[in-house]
């Protein structure tokens, strides 16, 4: 057989590519008290001289997918994420120019957009700004919910929302918890706190003699108070934040007697970049999707009954 010619094969390998898909990288850039967030889902697909690994199992030309994952996180720190396009171009160039055997890189990126949470009047006077500088709500509408029950005499209206995703890039700690022989969690003194809020609230309008609430205004105000309480609470646990969100609603909205929350703790783990000689001072995070802590609870006006079914909020 002539050198470089391929052996005759009855079955021939066609197009192929490989890499790590869906690297969930969150980059926080701190400009004093003002934080900026970039939240990406980055998928890497590489192709090149990959015949051998398929035909014979030789890995000599394989840059491990694990390395492509590490590269995404390290480059987020080293190069920064100005835009998804700029980051994708940088990554693709890196893979193709740093490894002779890689001839083509395809980088696909989904970007999740966030906007800042507006401050309450009291807090904006306190911090001197209309927005909380480290608090964000995911763009895109949440789903609004309602359930109405009528038995010919009494009304029960429970309204709510789901998929309202919020994030604080600072002002969250978690420490002082039970440690048993299975505990490995390190105490956190400055962590990301993120959740996708599912909440339901019960109106105290129960009969036609009572003045009916303004449902539209009520929804808008509940949502606002919920977001502001999330943003403005210095949190020692998601449980504490849950209670603050509920009590802010109960204290500000006389038409509501009870709120129930189901709050998944959307964990963001600081990526260890030390092996690549990089410091990671609360900048680059891996946004894990599962498993997640699930924090649930009811907040009720003193003297009122809790009637929202415990397992309703996950629907």
Ligand X SMILES: O=c1[nH]c(=O)c2[nH]c(=O)[nH]c2[nH]1
Nearer to ligand X, 293 or 297 (CB): 293
Please count the CA atoms within 13 angstroms of the CA of 54 that sit on its side-chain side: 14
Nearer to ligand X, 158 or 193 (CB): 193
Tell me the two tokens of residue 185.
Answer: 């969690």
Told to judge if 61 belongs to the known catalytic residues of this protein, a careful annotator would answer no
Give 15: exposed, middle or buried? Use CB within 10 Å, 0-12, 13-18, 19+.
exposed
Binding segment (CB under 6 A) for ligand X, from list 120-128, 155-163, 232-240, 296-304: 232-240
185 makes contact with ligand X (CB under 6 A): yes
Q: What is the rounded CA–CA span in Å between residue 274 and residue 251?
A: 47
Nearer to ligand X, 139 or 179 (CB): 179
Element (H, E) at 30: strand 23-31
Q: Comparing C-alpha atoms, which of 35, 188, 21 is closest to residue 106?
A: 21
294 makes contact with ligand X (CB under 6 A): no
Task: Please select the residue that binds ligand X; options are 40, 197, 238, 242, rule is CB under 6 A.
Answer: 238
Catalytic residue among 38, 266, 267, 268, which?
267
The annotation places the binding site for urate at 65-66, 174, 191, 239, 265
Q: What is the rounded CA–CA span in Å between residue 276 and residue 74?
A: 7
The annotation places the binding site for O2 at 65, 265
Beta carbon of residue 72, minimum distance to ligand X (angstroms, whole number): 25
Residue whose entry in the numeric block shows the structure tokens 């160039």: 93
Beta carbon of residue 254, minimum distance to ligand X (angstroms, whole number): 30
Told to judge if 134 belongs to the known catalytic residues of this protein, a careful annotator would answer no
Catalytic residue among 29, 65, 67, 298, which?
65
Nearer to ligand X, 28 or 238 (CB): 238
Helices (H) and strands (E) counted in the chain, each on its own, are 6, 12
Tell me the two tokens of residue 159.
Answer: 């309204």
The annotation places the binding site at 65-66, 174, 191, 239, 265
237 makes contact with ligand X (CB under 6 A): yes
Task: Please select the residue that binds ligand X; options are 293, 296, 298, 306, rule is CB under 6 A.
Answer: 293
Q: Which 157-176 positions form the footprint of ligand X (CB under 6 A)?
A: 174
Told to judge if 279 belongs to the known catalytic residues of this protein, a careful annotator would answer no
Contacts (Cβ under 8 Å, ≥6 apart) of 155: 148, 149, 205, 206, 207, 208
Beta carbon of residue 299, minimum distance to ligand X (angstroms, whole number): 16
Task: Please select the residue that binds ligand X; options are 265, 266, 273, 278, rule is CB under 6 A.
Answer: 265
Q: Comparing C-alpha atoms, which of 24, 63, 69 is closest to residue 47?
A: 63
Q: Comparing C-alpha atoms, which of 136, 131, 126, 124 is closest to residue 168?
A: 136
Q: Which 81-100 positions form the footprint of ligand X (CB under 6 A)?
A: none
CB atoms within 10 A of CB 79: 13
Q: Comparing C-alpha atoms, which of 271, 284, 298, 309 is closest to residue 77?
A: 284
Q: Count the site residues for ligand X by CB under 6 A.
A: 7
Active site residue ranges: 20, 65, 267
**Interface ranges with ligand X (CB under 6 A):** 174, 185, 237-239, 265, 293
């Amino acid at each position: 057989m002539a050198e470089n010619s391929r052996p005759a094969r009855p079955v021939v390998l066609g197009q192929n590519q490989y890499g790590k898909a869906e690297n969930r990288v969150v980059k926080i850039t701190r400009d004093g008290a003002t934080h900026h967030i970039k939240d990406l889902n980055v998928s890497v697909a590489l192709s090149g001289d990959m015949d051998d690994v398929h035909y014979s199992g030789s890995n000599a030309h394989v840059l491990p997918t694990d390395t492509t994952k590490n590269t995404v996180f390290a480059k987020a720190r080293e190069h920064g994420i100005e835009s998804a396009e700029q980051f994708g171009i940088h990554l693709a160039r890196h893979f193709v120019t740093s490894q002779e055997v890689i001839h083509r890189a395809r980088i696909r990126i989904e970007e999740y957009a966030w906007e800042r949470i507006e401050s309450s009047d009291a807090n904006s006077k306190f911090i001197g700004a209309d927005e909380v500088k480290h608090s964000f709500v995911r763009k895109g509408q949440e789903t609004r919910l309602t359930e109405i029950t009528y038995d010919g005499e009494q009304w029960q209206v429970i309204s709510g929302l789901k998929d309202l995703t919020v994030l604080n890039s600072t002002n969250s700690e978690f420490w002082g918890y039970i440690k048993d022989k299975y505990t490995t969690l390190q105490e956190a003194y400055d962590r990301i706190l993120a959740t996708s809020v599912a909440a339901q609230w019960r109106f105290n309008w129960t009969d036609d003699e009572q003045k009916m609430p303004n449902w539209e205004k009520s929804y808008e105000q509940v949502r606002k108070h919920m977001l502001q309480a999330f943003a403005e609470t210095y949190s020692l646990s998601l449980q504490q934040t849950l209670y603050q969100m509920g009590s802010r609603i109960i204290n500000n909205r006389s038409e509501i007697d009870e709120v129930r929350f189901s709050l998944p703790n959307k964990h963001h783990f600081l990526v260890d970049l030390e092996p690549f000689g990089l410091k990671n001072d609360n900048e680059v995070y891996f946004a894990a999707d599962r498993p997640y802590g699930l924090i649930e609870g009811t907040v009720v006006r003193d003297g009122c009954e809790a009637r929202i079914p415990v397992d309703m909020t996950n629907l």
